[in-house]
Structure 1
Amino acid sequence: MDVPDDDGVARHTPSVGSSFVSVLAETFDSKDAFLADAQRYRRELLAHCYRMTGSLHDAEDLVQETYLRAWKSYDGFEGRSSVRTWLYRIATNASLTALDGRQRRPLPSGLGAPNADPTAEIAEHPEITWLQPLPDAPDEHPSDPSVIVASRDSVRLAFIAALQHLSARQRAVLLLREVLQWKAAEVGEAIGASTAAVNSLLQRARAQLDEIQPSQDDEIAPPESPEAREMLAKYVDAFETYDMDALVRLFTEDAIFEMPPFDGWYQGPADIVTLSSLHCPAQGPGDMRFVATTANGQPAAALYMRNPETGVHEAFQLHVLSVQSGKVSHVVAFHAQDGALFETFGLPLTL
């Protein structure tokens, strides 16, 4: 049989038995069928890698890496666990490898500095690897298992920001035990640790989270709730009409506003409105327009700022809101990153 070498020249090789060829073809067919079937877990694996890294871009790369590793090692999959569990093991270890030696991804309020003076100059720090928002999947349905796994509480910004204070192995153990509800022995097998070590890591992670994560007596309203919809509409209207008095009334007394890559964070309605009045490029009604969306299981709005030279409203910030007890308790206004963030959310760059 003549078979072309790497250089494209056909050379004679011994005939390969038809049985071996059929086995080889069957192997590739089964691997491809496995990969096609495994695609249904892509969204929940993305959420898992996002929880681990705090970065949507890193999570997307890690999911690709997970499927590549799974395809390469499929022949060694013995079926002792489900395909889904096997993929999570691969994704977790890929995340642990990726996080080795990396710094955590903070929000400004997590840098350890006190709340800033809204009248002072604001300092931009693009060199910091900031926490990124996660778009919600528009086609998710409550009966979809991925929604149960990637529950809103486990992708909300406050929780993701708190996870950044844990070591990578602590994050993995906490997520596998408390989000995915794995047994300690299963977690140990996944990350190569004893059951005792897993329990110790979980205990330390819980204690650290209790110190870091602010207590939230009231549940954050989901984005489709009437409460969240109403507050988002009022928030958008106050900015678009440049009604600072109305804006003041929307925030809780201890509300926080932050806007990475600027390192300051601001607390209280008066400081938030002062910040908006002094440092926002808008000069009056009509300069800002918003498009409602959702992110991290929370109501959100994409802000477009009018370019005074062209009159076109251009991508500026993505505001992710926490709504509690009928008021806005927290806003993270993520910079548009020259439109890259808006493209990630499927939003237009101009209006």
Structure 2
Amino acid sequence: MTLPGPDQFAAETGRFRRELLAHCYRMVGSAHDAEDLVQETYLRAWRAYAGFEGRSSVRSWLYRIATNVCLTAVRPRPMRVLPSGLAGPGRVAESQAADGDVRWLEPLPDAWICDDDPAAVVIGRESLRLALIAGLQHLPARQRAILLLREVLAFSAAETAEILGTTTAAVKSGLQRARARLSEVDPRPEDLLEPTDPRARALLDGYLAAFERSDANLLEHVLRTDATLEATPFREWQAGRADCIALLETQVMGAPGDWRLIATTANGQSAAVVYHRGRADGVVVLAATAAGVSSVVKFHDPALVAAFGFPETSG
């Protein structure tokens, strides 16, 4: 009897890597953690591959491994959040760095999961939107897994029960509770424009121009009146266009030329990598709607610029 080799394993499992990365990201809210968890998933799958007897599809077998790897990973850790998940909005004031025990949500570069492969459709851009990912982190981990397996990945209740090692009845009740909890933390999901939509690109261009020219007035044409502004690693965040613009103008924008922003996409949304005085500074993600930008989330982390495939300096 010939044992399966690496080439056969790669042929059978490799095509699922991108969608497994998206799944792990939805579970844990961190792109880098998701990468590590996918690596662990494939390591475990390789070790068990010789005993895989095809009682389920390769895809559902991999999801069983990946989901349980994620459940083990999140069990001892506090959930990842955005500032808006900690407390209500504050007035314009000096922002203070959050305590070190807060674990922040991270953006996901679209390039990590999307290419010309038709199978990428399985990933589902809408299921990676920042607001949804933030909301998912408020669910107990098993409820989060049930919701994702059933409603994002379209596994049946029986398949989900097999993946999680539970009963169909437990899956159905868990899904009901997960839906109810998610509607509490994200009651009205917004209809966001695709980044390729000319309206979304115009809003992103306006935001980029406002920073690069240090012209806060341009933001009047970009932000909705009810827009929100938040940035990690700061607890304070703003709600309402006037407060958002006041904070940016007085504490952030500086002089013309201080900032350079280069368009990209993250979480299926319009985004930009950010440089401050020529050095990598982080990534900003916009929620673009037909009426304007409803939220701006800035991730202050220079390492993210490289993760999105850009150089450390703006040249």
> What's the TM-score, normalizing by structure 2?
0.95
SS of the aligned residue for 2:250 comes to helix
Q: State the 1:248 CA deviation.
A: 2.5
Q: State the 1:78 CA deviation.
A: 1.1
Q: Give the structure 1 partner of residue 288 of structure 2.
A: 323
Unaligned runs of 5+ in 2: none
Q: State the 1:37 CA deviation.
A: 3.6
SS of the aligned residue for 1:284 comes to coil
Q: Report whether the alignment pairs 1:46 with 2:21.
A: yes
Q: Give the structure 1 partner of residue 3 of structure 2.
A: 27
Instruction: Tell me which amino acid in the other structure corresponds to 2:308.
Output: F
Q: State the 1:68 CA deviation.
A: 0.8
Q: Give the structure 2 partner of residue 115 of structure 1.
A: 89
User: Where in structure 2 are the equivalents of 1:245-264 lying within 5 Å?
Assistant: 245-264=217-236
Q: Give the structure 1 partner of residue 67 of structure 2.
A: 92
Q: Give the structure 1 partner of residue 140 of structure 2.
A: 167
Match of 1:295 among 253, 266, 269: 266
Q: RMSD across aligned C-alpha pairs, in angstroms?
A: 1.6
Q: Residue by residue, what CA displacement relative to the aligned partner does 1:319-349 show, whole Å, maximum 9, x if unpaired?
A: 100001141101110012xx31111111111
Count matched residues.
Answer: 314
Match of 1:157 among 111, 120, 130: 130
Q: State the 1:232 CA deviation.
A: 0.5
Match of 1:283 among 228, 233, 254: 254
SS of the aligned residue for 1:210 comes to helix
Higher relative contact order (CA 8 A, sep 6+): 2
Does the CA-based 8 Å contact 1:255-1:330 persist in structure 2?
Answer: yes
Does the CA-based 8 Å contact 1:108-1:260 persist in structure 2?
Answer: yes
**How far, CA to CA, are the matches of 2:97 and 2:70 in structure 1?**
31
Q: Report whether the alignment pairs 1:204 with 2:177.
A: yes
Instruction: Tell me which amino acid in the other structure corresponds to 2:177.
Output: R
**How far, CA to CA, are the matches of 2:95 and 2:25 in structure 1?**
32
Instruction: Tell me which amino acid in the other structure corresponds to 2:232.
Output: P
Unaligned runs of 5+ in 1: 1-22, 307-312
Q: State the 1:298 CA deviation.
A: 0.3
**How far, CA to CA, are the matches of 1:138 and 1:197 in structure 2?**
33
Q: Report whether the alignment pairs 1:230 with 2:206.
A: no
Identity of aligned residues (%): 52
**How far, CA to CA, are the matches of 1:287 and 1:119 in structure 2?**
22
Q: Report whether the alignment pairs 1:74 with 2:49.
A: yes
Does the CA-based 8 Å contact 1:250-1:328 persist in structure 2?
Answer: yes
Q: Report whether the alignment pairs 1:347 with 2:310.
A: yes
Instruction: Tell me which amino acid in the other structure corresponds to 2:183.
Output: D
Match of 1:220 among 192, 213, 217: 192
**How far, CA to CA, are the matches of 2:203 and 2:39 in structure 1?**
38
